[in-house]
Amino acid sequence: MLNIPVLRWGEPYESLETDEVIHHRTGEVLAKVGQANPGLLARDMRKADRARELLREIPIKDLIEMMKKAGDLYLNATLPLGDGEQTPDDFARQQSASTGLPEHMCKFNMEKNHFVLNNMDQIFDALTRGLDLEILERGFGVEERGVPVSYQAQSPVLGMVLPSNSPGVHTLWMPVIPMQIGLVLKPGPQEPWTPYRMFAAFTEAGVPKEAIGIYPGGPDMGAETVARCGRVMIFGSTQTVKNYAGNEQVQVHGPGYSKILLGDDVVDQWEGYIDLMADSIYKNSGRGCINCSGVWASRHTEEIAAAIAEKVGGYEVKDPTDPEAGLAAFTVPNQAEAIWGMIEEGCEENGTTHVTAKHGDRLVQMERCDYIRPTILHCDSPDRKMANTEYMFPFTTVVECPQEQMIDKIGGTLVASAITNDEAWARQLTDATNIDRLNIGAIPTIALNWLQPHEGSIVDFLFNARAYQTSDERLKRLCNGG
Amino acid sequence: MAELDQQVQEAKAALDAQAVEIVKWHFSPETGCPFWLDWAKEAGWNPAEEITCFDDIIAKFPHFQDEWLRDKQPEVWVPQEFKGQPFNIFETGGTTGMPKQRIGWNDYKVDYSEFSDTLDDEAFPKNHYWLMVGPTGPRRLRLAIEHLANVRGCSCYFVDLDPRWVKRLISEKQFDQAKAYMEHVVDQATTIMKHREVSALFTTPKLLESIAERCEAEGGSLYESGVRGVFCGGTTMDPQYTRFLCEELLENKIGFVPTYGNTLMGLAKHKPLTAEDKYSITYYAPQPRAVLRVVNPDTDEPVDYEEWGRVELTTLTKEFFMPRFLERDEAIRRAPIDTYPWDGVAEVRPFGALTKKIVEGVY
């Protein structure tokens, strides 16, 4: 068992209060994680400027190189963790054991994080739209086309209130350090692994430890992170999203309600897209916000639902160490039972049908964790209660809806994969502000292009583009034309 | 150890004597109060004759009902001896509706006079000035603190905080308003600290944090503002939080005296904090005037030492008799020590804190 301390700007702090991270199958205590009280962060934030100052002493191009090195270390090296150390295999085993995600998916997530870190230069170029890195460092400069520009950091640090259930989200904060912005991380109680391993990899690669703080704790610690950091990214429910709506300091990542929309021009060939639908629903345990939770079409919906159910309904619970395991465990007591209760209640409405029922019981209850096997519902109208729902397992509702009503009826949608060749509809979809990531064509919802922004550009979130006027002579002198 | 055992026996004997004397007092027509005299008539037994030790109180009295302090008029609690003497009316908690009320004359002074003897003169210098930032209004605490200051030759400034309003704001999720109110309180406190000499501060943990943060935001610290001793009470202080207060806010330079008390009991004293205690605070009731037990809520039996249980209070003074009142707190039962040779209660927190959300707010 490991003892993992609070990290106050990189300095270990042995809290008198600890939280146990437990193996979801065996009950083994994997680690004791020191818990920070909110006051610690409040006091440490007095040194937040120092985090950015130290990072600004390192050119961005060097920080990008450090990220590449950190990526390799994260993926391959044995790194210090608390009072012990951790191999890459330890990491995957521990993350799987506490989050319920199968081990091979944890390893896949490691590859994903590694890819992002290793391609930081290209990702950075895409996120900043090719901005000269020296302009970001200096805060102002002249673009190649001769226009003076200025980018002002809105906070010396980014606070991250991280979830327990989705290790995939960590890619979102990887570009922050190379932007010379410090990090305040509040890990999810069951997923301390990635923040601490990244810290170890970053610092071993040369990032100043004083640029990163890790403050594990309860909900009050999350609230303090939001209150104290000038810019914060949080993950939560639809209600959390509503709570922070309009708060420019907070970027909230809630449920995705990602969908596949079949256009009237292709819907009669629906059978050709069943594999794409099943992958979008089931891959990576169906837990991500980019996993498909709705398939919408104007006709053939009952056949589509039956075909998807046939494809995914038979998947069984497997041991998390099994390379074939496709389902993640619910490790929070009673959560799966409550979710299944909601689904059963929703299915009582006329017009809503549980299509995977014939493939056996969905809820699988174990001693310390539960599972829900892939579940497909059919709704004969977008007005049914279950037509626009999302749960953190492979779950989808196939909804019958006329194409001309779809954009209005789908509501907020993180990823919409619209399979159509109808350019008039594609134009309407392009203009639809309720869709964040838009795929036109036969593209799975889970296929992310890392060079594209996710729920808003992190550069726009952390930096404000503003007017900056000075004499040409000064600009030339300070920017050397750059 | 033998010496401690001896002290424990002596304390127990003193408690038994107090139990007999106080029960006789409250249940005798010539000295008792109307409430208990009527209660005994209905109960069908005579406590004045049948209570021979403290354990008899535990065995024979039911839990004191807090509704009695809400529903009854205050005069039913006036012992014959005090009849005709105006009394103080103190209130506890209360967010909505009728609060619990306890009347009194001199009790509030007794614990605090005794408490003064335990204070370090360096942290709480005599003949100086104190500041209390916390619930005043109808609370006993306000008069008690002023009395404590006066006993030490000090005078006390006060900044009020209305905990009922704070609890209501938090319950209604008006967090901005709650924050603004706390800022308002801190403004007043730091204004006094800037313009007057204050060496001792009595406040709640959350307010202490905010006051310290304000001092530091203005380039100073609590210590630099002249504070040498802090009393803190009112809400949960777990070991980590206590350590944080001592190390970070008080910089291990300011004397720290955690307190646990309320209108119904008086003031419990704490075992001086040591490194071995890992900042786990243990309180000892002002026995024999009040007794704290930590009981299993299902069996009413004391839990083992170092186990968690619900706090049960019995108050035994001539002004007020209250048997076996179940506090809304839980705590760890701790063993007697030389200074206080009776059971202690440690790491006090709201009852059920681990299983339900408790509104403590800034208070």
Nearest CA in chain B to A223: B175
Nearest CA in chain A to B241: A37
**pLDDT tens digits, residue range B45-80?**
999 999 999 999 999 999 999 899 999 999 999 999
Q: Give the three-class secondary structure for A287.
A: coil
Q: Cα(B332)–Cα(B277) distance, rounded to whole angstroms?
A: 13
Q: Cα(A228)–Cα(A218) distance, rounded to whole angstroms?
A: 16
Pair B97, B198 in one domain: no
Residues B15 and B287: beta-carbon distance below 8 Å: yes
Pair B247, B118 in one domain: yes
Pair B114, B242 in one domain: yes
Q: Cα(B344)–Cα(A330) distance, rounded to whole angstroms?
A: 41
Residues A371 and A317: beta-carbon distance below 8 Å: yes
- Looking at the 3D structure of chain B, how many domains does it have? 2
Do the Cβ atoms of A39 and B248 come within 8 Å?
yes
Q: Which residues of B are less than 8 Å from A16 in CB distance?
A: 238-240, 243, 278-279
| Angle formed at CA A455 by CA A453 and CA A459, multiple of 5 degrees | 55
Mean pLDDT of B226-254: 92
Do the Cβ atoms of A39 and B244 come within 8 Å?
yes
Residues B40 and B46: beta-carbon distance below 8 Å: yes
Alpha carbon separation from B8 to B1, B54, B345 (Å, rounded) = 10, 14, 16
H-helix segments, A400-441? 403-409, 423-431
Do the Cβ atoms of B239 and A46 come within 8 Å?
no
Q: Which residues of A are less than 8 Å from B240 in CB distance?
A: 15-17, 35, 37
* Closest approach of B129 to chain A, Cα-based (Å): 28
**Could you please report the per-residue DSSP string of A180-210?**
T-EEEEE-BTTB-HHHHHHHHHHHHTT--GG
Pair B152, B208 in one domain: yes
* Closest approach of A213 to chain B, Cα-based (Å): 17
Please name the residue that has the structure tokens 């839980």. Answer: B330
Structure tokens at B342: 């009776």
The predicted structure's pLDDT at residue A300: 96
**pLDDT grade for B359, boundaries at 50, 70 and 90:** very low
- Taking alpha carbons only, the member of B88, B188, B186 closest to residue B146 is B88
Q: Is A35 on the interface with B (CB under 8 A)?
A: yes
Do the Cβ atoms of B209 and A17 come within 8 Å?
no
The predicted structure's pLDDT at residue A120: 93
- The β-bridge partners of A463 are A153
Please name the residue that has the structure tokens 């190390």. Answer: B247
Q: Considering the domain boundaries, does residue B355 fall inside one? A: no
- Last residue of some domain: B223, B258, B293? B258
Pair B37, B94 in one domain: yes
The predicted structure's pLDDT at residue B196: 96
Mutate one of A18, A20, A43, A226 to test the B interface: name it (highest B CB count within 10 A). A43
Pair B208, B228 in one domain: yes
Domain assignments of chain A as residue spans, ordered by start: 2-254+455-479, 258-440
- Strand intervals (E) in A122-179: 140-142, 148-153, 157-161
How many residues does this entry show for chain B?
363
Q: Cα(A97)–Cα(A75) distance, rounded to whole angstroms?
A: 18
DSSP B272: P
The predicted structure's pLDDT at residue A393: 93
Mean pLDDT of B201-214: 95
The predicted structure's pLDDT at residue A240: 79
CATH 1.20.120.1200 given to domain A2-254+455-479: no
Pair B292, B344 in one domain: yes
Could you tell me the residue range of the domain that residue B81 belongs to? 2-105+284-348
- Taking alpha carbons only, the member of B346, B348, B349, B350 closest to residue B282 is B346
DSSP B99: P
**pLDDT tens digits, residue range B149-201?**
999 999 999 999 998 999 899 889 898 999 999 999 999 999 999 999 999 99
Residues A101 and A328: beta-carbon distance below 8 Å: yes
Q: Which residues of B are less than 8 Å from A15 in CB distance?
A: 240
Do the Cβ atoms of B239 and A16 come within 8 Å?
yes
**pLDDT grade for B360, boundaries at 50, 70 and 90:** very low
**Could you please report the per-residue DSSP string of A1-52?**
-EEE-EEETTEEE--S-EEEEE-TTT--EEEEEEPPPHHHHHHHGGGHHHHH
Q: Is A46 on the interface with B (CB under 8 A)?
A: yes
Do the Cβ atoms of B244 and A37 come within 8 Å?
yes
Q: Cα(A247)–Cα(B289) distance, rounded to whole angstroms?
A: 54
- Last residue of some domain: B189, B223, B258? B258
Do the Cβ atoms of A15 and B240 come within 8 Å?
yes
**Could you please report the per-residue DSSP string of B139-166?**
-HHHHHHHHHHHHTT-EEEEEE--HHHH
DSSP A103: H
Q: Cα(A249)–Cα(A175) distance, rounded to whole angstroms?
A: 18
Pair B132, B249 in one domain: yes
Structure tokens at A264: 């009237």
**pLDDT grade for B1, boundaries at 50, 70 and 90:** low
Q: In this complex, which of A37, A43, A46 lies closest to B241 when CB atoms are compared?
A: A37
The predicted structure's pLDDT at residue B354: 54
- The β-bridge partners of B344 are B334
Do the Cβ atoms of A37 and B209 come within 8 Å?
no
The predicted structure's pLDDT at residue A178: 96
Pairing of strands A250-253, A231-235: parallel
Q: In what order do the strands lie in the sheet with B290-295?
A: B260-262, B266-270, B282-284, B344-350, B321-334, B308-316, B290-295
**Number of C-alpha atoms within 13 angstroms, CB side, residue A96?**
27
The predicted structure's pLDDT at residue A389: 93
* Closest approach of A35 to chain B, Cα-based (Å): 9
Nearest CA in chain B to A243: B173
The predicted structure's pLDDT at residue B358: 42
- Taking alpha carbons only, the member of A31, A195, A186 closest to residue A98 is A31
* Closest approach of A43 to chain B, Cα-based (Å): 8
Do the Cβ atoms of A42 and B241 come within 8 Å?
no
CA A114 to chain CA centroid, Å, is 15
Interface of B with A (CB under 8 A): 209, 213, 216, 238-241, 243-244, 248-249, 278-279
Pair B217, B159 in one domain: yes
Q: Which residues of A are less than 8 Å from B241 in CB distance?
A: 37, 39
Pairing of strands A182-186, A212-214: parallel
Pair B73, B118 in one domain: no
Predicted confidence pLDDT, tens digits, chain A (482 residues): 999 999 999 999 999 999 999 999 999 999 999 999 999 999 999 999 999 999 999 999 999 999 999 999 999 999 999 999 999 999 999 999 999 999 999 999 999 999 999 999 999 888 888 889 999 999 999 988 888 899 999 999 999 999 887 777 898 899 999 999 999 999 999 999 999 999 999 999 999 999 999 999 998 999 999 999 999 999 887 787 788 888 889 998 888 899 999 999 999 999 999 999 999 999 888 888 899 999 999 999 999 999 999 999 999 999 999 999 999 999 888 999 999 999 999 999 999 999 999 999 999 999 889 999 999 999 999 999 999 999 999 999 999 999 999 999 999 999 999 999 999 999 999 999 999 999 999 999 998 877 777 767 889 999 999 999 999 889 888 887 44
Q: Cα(B283)–Cα(A441) distance, rounded to whole angstroms?
A: 69
Nearest CA in chain B to A35: B240
Mutate one of B240, B243, B276 to test the A interface: name it (highest A CB count within 10 A). B240
Q: Considering the domain boundaries, does residue B153 fall inside one? A: yes
- In CATH, what class is A258-440? alpha beta
The predicted structure's pLDDT at residue B227: 97
Pairing of strands A79-81, A29-34: unpaired
Structure ipTM? 0.83
- CATH number reported for the structural domain that contains residue B246 in this entry: 3.40.50.2300
- Give yes or no for a cis peptide into B288 (omega within 30° of 0): yes
Tell me which residues of chain A, numbers 285 to 344, contact chain B at a CB-CB cutoff of 8 Å.
none
Alpha carbon separation from B188 to B158, B160, B212, B213 (Å, rounded) = 9, 9, 13, 14
Q: Cα(A371)–Cα(A425) distance, rounded to whole angstroms?
A: 39
Pair B243, B168 in one domain: yes
Specify which of B86-100, B222-236, B264-278 reaches the highest per-range mean pLDDT. B222-236
Q: In what order do the strands lie in the sheet with A463-465?
A: A140-142, A148-153, A463-465
**pLDDT tens digits, residue range B300-317?**
999 999 999 999 999 999
Pair B77, B112 in one domain: no
Do the Cβ atoms of A42 and B209 come within 8 Å?
yes
Please name the residue that has the structure tokens 């299993």. Answer: B296
Q: Which residues of B are less than 8 Å from A46 in CB distance?
A: 216
- The β-bridge partners of B89 are B103
Do the Cβ atoms of B209 and A39 come within 8 Å?
yes
Q: Which residues of B are less than 8 Å from A35 in CB distance?
A: 240
Do the Cβ atoms of A46 and B216 come within 8 Å?
yes
- Taking alpha carbons only, the member of A288, A89, A115, A53 closest to residue A197 is A89
Residue B199 burial (C-beta neighbours within 10 Å; 0-12, 13-18, 19+): buried
**pLDDT grade for B266, boundaries at 50, 70 and 90:** confident
Q: Cα(A447)–Cα(A292) distance, rounded to whole angstroms?
A: 11
* Closest approach of B241 to chain A, Cα-based (Å): 7
Would A2-254+455-479 and A258-440 be classified into the same CATH topology? no
Residues A149 and A142: beta-carbon distance below 8 Å: yes
* Closest approach of B258 to chain A, Cα-based (Å): 18
The predicted structure's pLDDT at residue B94: 63
- Taking alpha carbons only, the member of A356, A385, A171, A175 closest to residue A281 is A356
Do the Cβ atoms of A16 and B240 come within 8 Å?
yes
- The β-bridge partners of B131 are B157, B201
The predicted structure's pLDDT at residue B356: 46
Residue B95: pLDDT above 80?
Answer: no
- Last residue of some domain: B224, B258, B292? B258
Nearest CA in chain A to B357: A219
**Could you please report the per-residue DSSP string of A210-254?**
GGEEE----HHHHHHHHHH-SEEEEE--HHHHHHTTT-TTEEEE-
Do the Cβ atoms of A16 and B209 come within 8 Å?
no
* Closest approach of B278 to chain A, Cα-based (Å): 8
Do the Cβ atoms of A17 and B240 come within 8 Å?
yes
Residue B27: pLDDT above 60?
Answer: yes
Q: Kind and range of the H or E element at A294?
A: strand A292-297
**pLDDT tens digits, residue range B99-112?**
899 999 999 999 88
Pairing of strands B129-134, B88-91: unpaired
